[in-house]
Amino acid sequence: MTGTLKATVIYPVANSLVEARDSNFIFGSVGSGKAQLWINGAPVAVAPNGAFLAWLPVPAVDSPRYDIVAVSGADTARLEQPVRLKPPIVKLATDGSLLYDTASVLPGSRLALRDDDTVRVSVRTAPNASVVWRGDAGAAQALTAAGTSFAADMPARMLRARTELLLARGSDTIHVAVPPVGVALARQWATLGVDSAGADASDEELIGRPIPGGTYKWFLLPGTPLEVTGRNGDFSRVRLDSNLEIWVSTADLHALPGSWLPAKRVAGNARLVSQAEWVDLVVPMAARPPYFVDESTNELTVTLYDTMINTDIVNYGANDSLVREAKWTQDASDRGHFTLSLSQPAYGYLAFWQNGSFVLRVRRPPRIDASSPLRGLTIAIDPGHPPIGATGPTGLYEAVPTLAIGLDVQQMLESRGAKVFLTRTTADPVALGDRPIMARKANANALVSIHLNALPDGINPFTSNGTGAYYFRSQSVPLARELQRAMVSRMGLRNLGINYDNLRLARPTWMPAVLCEGAFLMIPEQENALRTPEFQKLYAAAIVDGLESYFRSLSAR
Ligand SMILES: [Zn+2]
């Protein structure tokens, strides 16, 4: 392409913060494939369509910008792209004046914990300094050094008042205030989320995390009463049972009156209720339990926290082809679990509360005709974005090819006898959180989300691009493997493997759900290919191949 010479930077956006400290990528276009390009003095390759992608040292602190010079014949185009840089890392030298890293001081503010909770008190300073914590009435404790890190674990009760760290080296001293740790009162109860029941309630994500701001591990029922035992910033610690405390968003909690008494959860006689499309395990008890469902190949296990199981009878109803056996175990005085042995691998489930019972609804896999595996199935296809999404060097916005690919998938699936539910068919935005709900309401047999990948700052795109698939539930692993295999085979890009990842479109439980990142929009050749119907059809055909082999594998069982 020999268009007009004009330098455009797509990324990093002007005046944005570059998160990397050593090297980072920059990409955009110079408008002409014939141009020569230099960025901060380094020569950069220009693709035939004028796109460029460079991996360069992060600009110097005293000149935080990219100077772009493109030359074509007698024409020169210049662009100055200013960026912001992270503050330099504090050098904690063994001489000069004593310094410490102000961002390293722990504990942080807005903590509330029990007296006997352990709190890490720490700071980074020069390795030849000494650090002593000092409290009221002469209380003191030396922090243990490991290089530049100094730390001590102390009970929260010692940190109720404003205390300090005394950093010293020779006559050089620094006093650093330690934020006081607030009190977590005993027997504070709250419900998580707003009381709602039935299978639809499973659409609300009430997330439990192993640490404040951490990953998503537990998904609890709206209206579950929980004891609140601590706070850290915007997160609250809640007790699931005597051996497990997790963190939830404080905004999700609704305080119960101080006089409120928790119901004792005792699981009564259970039953299996068979329907054409699913089997319900129904476990009556006095209040919604915190729970965790674990899928393994031919089993579903549901752990019930703060629950004593006293199930004398499990009624199986009519002889069921899916659930071979339901059994239960009490693991501790306030934790038990039910295990469902299945005749086939776990395929989908919903956990919800209904009429005074905890219900685990186990979905039957669809009946598959091996010669036409997709016939009669409903497949939800989610063309990724808008809102947000990546943009390539010449301005191709992720949501444009994902929709074109999604429409190709629809046409190919329909020609194989499947029904297709698309989460969007236009350029209008659809909220991320609505998409999995739409797929469940469509009763889809599988959900595939179509995306194009981008990298975070500081990762070399030349060595890290390719094709990946993302799952979150164990039941989605076989579909993720089939989609990945088909994408690599059809599109011929580097195989980045499948990934367990906490993504909204990978989290549904009612069907196998996989998010595909088939190619990288920031790579000039891949962006260019993604503009073509031919490559879009390769991506689409790969999704269809992957779905077809996955469902064919179900017919063999
Ligand atoms: Zn995306």
User: Which DSSP state fits 489?
Assistant: H
Whether the pTM exceeds 0.85: the reply is yes
CA of 539 to the centre of ligand 1 (A): 15
C-alpha span between 35 and 360 (Å, rounded): 62
Instruction: Show the tokens assigned to 219.
Output: 């998904």
Distances (CA, A) of 133 to 122, 179, 188: 9, 12, 31
CA of 475 to the centre of ligand 1 (A): 23
CA of 521 to the centre of ligand 1 (A): 10
- What pLDDT, on the 0 to 100 scale, is given for residue 2? 60
CA of 346 to the centre of ligand 1 (A): 28
Pairing of strands 270-274, 42-44: unpaired
CA of 271 to the centre of ligand 1 (A): 43
CA of 488 to the centre of ligand 1 (A): 18
- What pLDDT, on the 0 to 100 scale, is given for residue 394? 97
Q: Are 3 and 29 in contact (CB under 8 A)?
A: no
CA of 454 to the centre of ligand 1 (A): 8
Secondary structure of 511-555 in the HEC alphabet?
A: CCEEEEEEEECCCHHHHHHHCCHHHHHHHHHHHHHHHHHHHHHHH
Write phi, then psi, for 545 (nearest 5 degrees).
-55, -50
CA of 431 to the centre of ligand 1 (A): 13
Q: What sign for the dihedral angle of Cα 26, 27, 30, 36?
A: positive
CA of 101 to the centre of ligand 1 (A): 36
CA of 480 to the centre of ligand 1 (A): 17
CA of 377 to the centre of ligand 1 (A): 26
The closest alpha carbon to 8, from 43, 49, 56, 60, belongs to 49
pLDDT tens profile 105-126: 999 889 999 999 999 999 999 9
Query: What is the number of H-type helices and E-type strands within the chain?
Result: 6, 42
CA of 220 to the centre of ligand 1 (A): 27
CA of 436 to the centre of ligand 1 (A): 15
- What pLDDT, on the 0 to 100 scale, is given for residue 1? 54
CA of 517 to the centre of ligand 1 (A): 8
**Cα angle, residue 391 at apex, residues 389 and 392 outer, rounded to 5°:** 145
At 440, which amino acid appears? Answer: R
- Rounded to the nearest angstrom, the gap between the alpha carbon of residue 551 and the centroid of all alpha carbons in its chain is 27
- What pLDDT, on the 0 to 100 scale, is given for residue 186? 83
C-alpha span between 207 and 287 (Å, rounded): 19
- What pLDDT, on the 0 to 100 scale, is given for residue 418? 98
CA of 168 to the centre of ligand 1 (A): 50
CA of 345 to the centre of ligand 1 (A): 30
Q: Are 227 and 189 in contact (CB under 8 A)?
A: yes
Q: Are 341 and 347 in contact (CB under 8 A)?
A: no
C-alpha span between 206 and 217 (Å, rounded): 10
CA of 428 to the centre of ligand 1 (A): 15
CA of 516 to the centre of ligand 1 (A): 9
CA of 384 to the centre of ligand 1 (A): 6
Number of Cβ within 10 Å of residue 399's Cβ equals 23
Pairing of strands 308-309, 266-267: parallel
Instruction: Show the tokens assigned to 195.
Output: 């009381």
CA of 404 to the centre of ligand 1 (A): 14
CA of 381 to the centre of ligand 1 (A): 14
Instruction: Show the tokens assigned to 503.
Output: 């993504």
Write phi, then psi, for 413 (nearest 5 degrees).
-70, -40
- What pLDDT, on the 0 to 100 scale, is given for residue 343? 93
- What pLDDT, on the 0 to 100 scale, is given for residue 388? 96
Please give the sequence-ordered ranges of beta strands (E in DSSP) within 138-192, or none if there are none. Answer: 140-142, 144-146, 149-155, 163-169, 172-178, 182-183, 188-192
Distances (CA, A) of 85 to 7, 18, 25, 53, 412: 22, 5, 14, 20, 47
CA of 385 to the centre of ligand 1 (A): 6
CA of 387 to the centre of ligand 1 (A): 10
- What pLDDT, on the 0 to 100 scale, is given for residue 91? 85
CA of 249 to the centre of ligand 1 (A): 25
Q: Are 461 and 522 in contact (CB under 8 A)?
A: yes
CA of 252 to the centre of ligand 1 (A): 27
C-alpha span between 314 and 326 (Å, rounded): 7
- What pLDDT, on the 0 to 100 scale, is given for residue 543? 98
CA of 353 to the centre of ligand 1 (A): 34
What are the pLDDT tens digits along the chain (557 aa)?
567 899 999 999 999 999 999 999 999 999 999 999 999 999 999 999 999 999 999 999 999 999 999 999 999 999 999 999 998 888 899 999 999 999 999 998 899 999 999 999 999 999 999 999 999 888 999 999 999 999 999 999 999 998 999 999 999 999 999 999 999 988 899 999 999 999 999 999 999 999 999 999 999 999 999 999 999 999 999 999 999 999 999 999 999 998 999 999 999 999 999 999 999 999 999 999 999 999 988 999 999 999 999 999 888 877 678 999 999 999 999 999 999 999 999 899 999 999 999 999 999 999 999 999 999 999 999 999 999 999 999 999 999 999 999 999 999 999 999 999 999 999 999 999 999 999 999 999 999 999 999 999 999 999 999 999 999 999 999 999 999 999 999 999 999 999 999 999 999 999 999 999 999 999 999 999 999 999 999 999 999 999 999 999 998 65
CA of 31 to the centre of ligand 1 (A): 25
**What residues does the ion ligand 1 have nearby, CB within 5 Å?**
384, 451
Cβ-Cβ contacts under 8 Å for 275 (sequence gap 6 or more)? none
CA of 479 to the centre of ligand 1 (A): 19
